[in-house]
Amino acid sequence: MSDRISSDPTGAGDQWGSQAGFILATVGSAAGVGNVWRFSYVAGENGGGAFLVLYVLSVLLIGLPIIIAETAIGRALRHDHAPATRRLPKLRHWQFFRVLSVLSALAILSFYAVIAGWALRYLIGAVDGSLLRIASTGHGEFFARFIADPVEPVIWHAAMMAATVFIVIRGVQRGIETANRILLPALFAAVALLAVYGVTQDGAGAGLRFLFQPDWTVLGQPRVYLAAMGQAFFSLGVGMAIFVTFGGYMPQRQSVPVAALAIVAGDTLVAVLAGIAIFTTVFAYGTDPTAGPQLAFITLPHIFVALPGGRVLAVLFFALLVAGALTSMISLLEVPVAWCVQYTPWRRRQAALALGVLIFVLGLPSALGFGLLADIRWHGRGILDSVDFVASNFLLPLGGLLLLTIVGWRWGRAPATAAANLDGNRAAAPWYILIRWITPLLVLVILARGFLNG
Ligand code: PFF
């Protein structure tokens, strides 16, 4: 089994068709509902500007080192046959990490697909205009009724899963790379247009000040630091073998640190542009930036109704959410599919279909958790929130910690640094100190917070 890993970690013999393939797919994986829906409400609840500073620090101190480590290991397992690398798949930590990453992907995709389904429903409503015909005060009730319906959320959830399976079946180049080539530019164009529109509105200054002018007093609250670190984990999608899997499809000559920098820059740019678009609009209309998860589905549609050109804006906004969701869902499905292709006799098509159905079924409780199953609650959270909580606060950080242990403590400095293309680079020493000491400590803090808040 381990020999198969060291010769071909993906088992599929796949490779990106171009230099840009890896960056496109990983930026697609990172930029998603987390950047638009989650980033804006978490930033709103945690003080705006000061949160943004802590978020960028978390991306640099946690996200970037883990992305480099994950990618290095993924590529080395495919191309590097040195003894230190051949030993890695035999480590118990590695087997744990792989199983955990598959479980995390199944859990995250099961609820993520439900939110993606809501976004698709809203996109259709924006396109046919029905969303804009709801009385401007009726959006709260509309959303509550929609997510509580026993059938509708399930249908949209199924539609998003079907699209994801369709793309993954087509393979690394023809499916994932091609989809990202189309969806990612559309996503950047939509978020940039919305941001430009946002800053041209009267009263936009208050929104920009909220996002960019830090109110340092919130730094006295530990929850703001923790929210920033947790958001960095989720938004970049680290700790889940996505970069290991996609790094395995990466050509030897591409530089790992350059790709990693492009990924964190691309992901942060999408979050900041989405933040500009959302907060300028929210402030221009005098609504509440701390509205929480309902910001995207209630507050914004409510504003779109009142805006000139609101329908175009609504189409752009929900198209942005759907495109972001789909590019992230593809990678969330690719992790378990690559694992199945590697460890079971299944081929890509069978694995993608079977896992697609499994994830759809696993997502049913989340899809029905606001209606039929609304009584099922855990520590005050509904089903969807509980799965999100467990995955984001336990599974992903635990995966990150295992990976850091493998790369920082088991692999050896020389092979790890070489695989990360940091040989002879001034960044090598800081990176190694980060992955051995600082990043694991910060990740432990996230885990401890999960336990304390649980
Ligand atoms: N990073 C994606 C987003 O921000 O929407 C979602 C995601 C993908 C989360 C992959 C976790 C993950 F492992």
pLDDT per residue over 4-54, tens digit each?
333 344 444 578 988 789 999 999 999 999 999 889 988 998 999 999 999
Backbone angles phi, psi at 347, to 5 degrees: -95, 170
* 33 in contact with ligand 1, CB cutoff 6 A: yes
Residue 286: per-residue pLDDT: 85
Residues ≥6 apart with Cβ < 8 Å to 256:
68, 71, 72, 75, 247, 419, 420, 421, 422
* 356 in contact with ligand 1, CB cutoff 6 A: no
CA distance 255 to 243: 14
Mutate which of 234, 329, 394 for ligand 1? The one with the most ligand atoms within 8 Å of its CB, which is: 234
CA end-to-end span of the chain, whole Å? 37
- Residue 2 pLDDT greater than 80, yes or no: no
CA-to-CA separations, 80 to 67, 85, 248, 428, 442, in angstroms, rounded: 19, 7, 11, 19, 30
Mutate which of 112, 238, 264 for ligand 1? The one with the most ligand atoms within 8 Å of its CB, which is: 112
CA distance 296 to 104: 25
CA distance 418 to 271: 32
- CA nearest 67: which of 448, 413, 404? 404
Q: Which atom of ligand 1 is nearest to the CA of 324?
A: 5
Provide mean pLDDT across the span 85-91.
Answer: 92
pLDDT per residue over 156-210, tens digit each?
999 999 999 999 999 999 999 999 999 999 999 999 999 999 999 888 999 999 9
Share of the chain above pLDDT 70, in %: 97
Calculate how far, in angstroms, residue 32's C-alpha sits from the geometric centre of ligand 1: 7
Residue 17: per-residue pLDDT: 87
Q: Which atom of ligand 1 is nearest to the CA of 35?
A: 4
User: Which residue's alpha carbon is at the smallest distance from atom 9 of ligand 1?
Assistant: 237
Mutate which of 27, 29, 326, 387 for ligand 1? The one with the most ligand atoms within 8 Å of its CB, which is: 29
Taking each continuous run of H as one helix and of E as one strand, the counts in the chain are 24, 0
For residue 151, the surrounding DSSP H or E stretch is none
Give the torsion through C-alpha atoms of 135, 139, 140, 146, to 10 deg.
Answer: 120
pLDDT per residue over 125-156, tens digit each?
999 999 999 877 788 999 999 999 999 999 99
Q: Which atom of ligand 1 is nearest to the CA of 325?
A: 5
23's tokens: 């960056």
Residue 396: per-residue pLDDT: 92
pLDDT per residue over 406-436, tens digit each?
999 999 999 999 999 999 999 999 999 999 9
* 242 in contact with ligand 1, CB cutoff 6 A: yes
Residue 251: per-residue pLDDT: 85
Residue 440: per-residue pLDDT: 97
Residue 11: per-residue pLDDT: 46
- Residue 96 pLDDT greater than 70, yes or no: yes
Residue 223: per-residue pLDDT: 85
* Residues 32/325, Cβ–Cβ less than 8 Å: yes
- Residue 370 pLDDT greater than 80, yes or no: yes
Q: What is the pTM of this model?
A: 0.93
pLDDT per residue over 305-351, tens digit each?
888 889 999 999 999 999 999 999 999 999 999 999 989 999 999 99
Q: For CA atoms 314, 319, 325, 329, give the dihedral sign.
A: positive
- Residue 87 pLDDT greater than 50, yes or no: yes
Residue 454: per-residue pLDDT: 59
pLDDT per residue over 247-294, tens digit each?
999 988 889 999 999 999 999 999 999 999 999 998 888 888 887 777
pLDDT per residue over 218-235, tens digit each?
988 888 888 898 899 899
